[in-house]
Structure 1
């Protein structure tokens, strides 16, 4: 750099269960400045569409808005979305996420995405012309049926009454009328942002892969998969095989078939929305990371997306994480020069999570000594 000061871009995701992406950036910055006080650090917390997506957008300058909506089991919850210049970032977990269930309680057969539809409606009320629907962390396996119902669709059983909430009830679906969907959707671009590309049904579908995480037994999974297949037969089977249809309990399918959404990998969408390209142009080192760098990271998670974009621009990348389960060769193939893990300082997972903040600052001083001194 002409002024002799290194410029570092911190573009890391959350450390799930311990630190938000905003907190990660703050502690990394503190660690860097402890060793290299003159380094210019820019923070751009990132997310891949799941938990923390709205927080990342707000940190990048979006305005936080809130709405009172139905939670996954019908109780009211306060949900946030982000808005800037006609673009809304809606995180379905804010309305329909696992975090809204009582501790130890799951509702795999009956949890609904109705509140996500209400959150989308709130974004429309605020004048959004582009909606990024980030999906992940859901408590639901209803194929987005609740979301569509909240937006005006009529999903009816043989008695011409609306089917009950949840994925299991979709087995009773006889007809679907989407003509009543909010007319404003016709003039809005909806982008489905997800870090998974599963189809709706089958052995790699929403129920089989993600149902057990939401409390579904083997029998529940079979029931839900059959119900989703029937649902897709009524609404249209072709989108059910589209990439991302199975995301977040099948809400991807609902967005594709009902909202004319366009699927894009979540981290790619969020890097565009957050202005990553411009920030990257100002950096000569990028620090990324997440709670666990493992095989899943390589398949569309935030650090892989950050590293791919930085490598294309010729900017080196290092990573911080809670736990490291990738070889140096795997890291190099992903475009990450080196990774630093909290577990190297504190092997006990419970203590590592509890002490994540001071451990991360300490870890970053080592990184700064290696790359900035």
Structure 2
């Protein structure tokens, strides 16, 4: 009996690694002889670095980097192997690094993300996976580019300042000073939004308010990103303003597209390829996945559906577990069409949210035990 356990994290409660371990412990209590493959996963957002490092036997690397508002922060990136690395932009440029009353997307910078890329390059990495999402910034990746050596200059020939405020002054782009190692590097960017760089559906309008921007500031930031897009067109001959995903992470997607020749792909697909998920599925009798909340959004490509689609192609049955699960038959039917044959809640009874979060590990272990027991009952 081979079971692949491939969950996402249960946010605010357990990492994907701890979720997988708890389910495996529960299953082994009934079927100690089973072959259990623990593959903690993420879909490109929070937890991507930890999940990839855990699944590949890599290591977390700590370093100092420039935070969103310029002060140094302690950040981490992941070394998968000698030539591969994984970085989350939120590690150095994330909204969680800025107190709510100090959020300022007009000034916030992605310089720290560029510094993490430099650290990965220094280590020998030439294939870098980047998770977009959770940024505090709206600078179009300008700070990252400056850290990587790109010259972003104002009309006087001086380097522009940080944030969208700097982009508003941008008059010339010079890539001749960019770190030459970047020409040898391949960037895969996990991007699960399709917003363009500018306009009503762009980075400023859609994501600016959650980063602290009012209507007036949203308009100023959109104008700054429009100026940026025009300069990219004029200096590099590339049109990025309307490309789906260019507006991800405050326009960081546009920088990866225009300057680093990156591939913007669904996050879960990048992660599954990186951990050789299809190889692990070979010979499996069952796939168990899950996340903290399973709902209609899950079917739009989040981790449980991403793994279920792969399992369906390999004819491996898949079940999902969640702290919160849908009760609408239409949602359950849609998940079934994507390969999730059954969805189970892990809560054994009525509880408060605080109790559910605190007891998640024990509840997952019990759920793993019950799944194994049910499997045994279903076999002839």
1:187-235 Cα distance to aligned partner (Å, 9 max, x none): 1111112222222122322222222322222333222222212211111
Distance 1:157 1:48, change over 3 A: same
Which of 150-159 and 218-227 deviates more? 218-227
Distance 1:284 1:245, change over 3 A: same
1:278-315 Cα distance to aligned partner (Å, 9 max, x none): 11114211111122222322222222211111111111
How is 1:106-145 mapped onto 2 (pairs within 5 angstroms)?
A: 106-145=103-142
1:321 matched to which residue of 2? Answer: 322
1:162 matched to which residue of 2? Answer: 159
1:196 matched to which residue of 2? Answer: 193
1:331 matched to which residue of 2? Answer: 335
Tell me the secondary structure at the aligned position of residue 240 of structure 2.
helix
User: How far does residue 103 in structure 1 lie from its aligned partner after superposition?
Assistant: 5.6
Question: Cα RMSD (Å) of the superposition?
Answer: 1.9
Q: Is residue 52 of structure 1 aligned with residue 56 of structure 2? A: no
1:294 matched to which residue of 2? Answer: 295
Q: Is residue 14 of structure 1 aligned with residue 9 of structure 2? A: yes
Q: d(CA) in 2 for partners of 1:220 and 1:350?
A: 37
User: How far does residue 13 in structure 1 lie from its aligned partner after superposition?
Assistant: 0.9
Is the CA contact (8 Å cut-off) linking 1:8 and 1:285 kept in structure 2? yes
User: How far does residue 14 in structure 1 lie from its aligned partner after superposition?
Assistant: 0.9
Q: Is residue 273 of structure 1 aligned with residue 274 of structure 2? A: yes
Any gaps of 5 or more consecutive residues in structure 1?
Answer: 1-5
User: How far does residue 342 in structure 1 lie from its aligned partner after superposition?
Assistant: 3.9
Q: TM-score, normalised by structure 2?
A: 0.91
1:350 matched to which residue of 2? Answer: 354
2:75 matched to which residue of 1? Answer: 79
- After TM superposition, what 4+ stretches of structure 1 lie above 6 angstroms from structure 2? none
Q: d(CA) in 2 for partners of 1:363 and 1:345?
A: 13
How is 1:235-254 mapped onto 2 (pairs within 5 angstroms)?
A: 235-236=232-233, 238-254=239-255
Aligned pair count reads 368
Q: TM-score, normalised by structure 1?
A: 0.92
User: How far does residue 86 in structure 1 lie from its aligned partner after superposition?
Assistant: 0.7
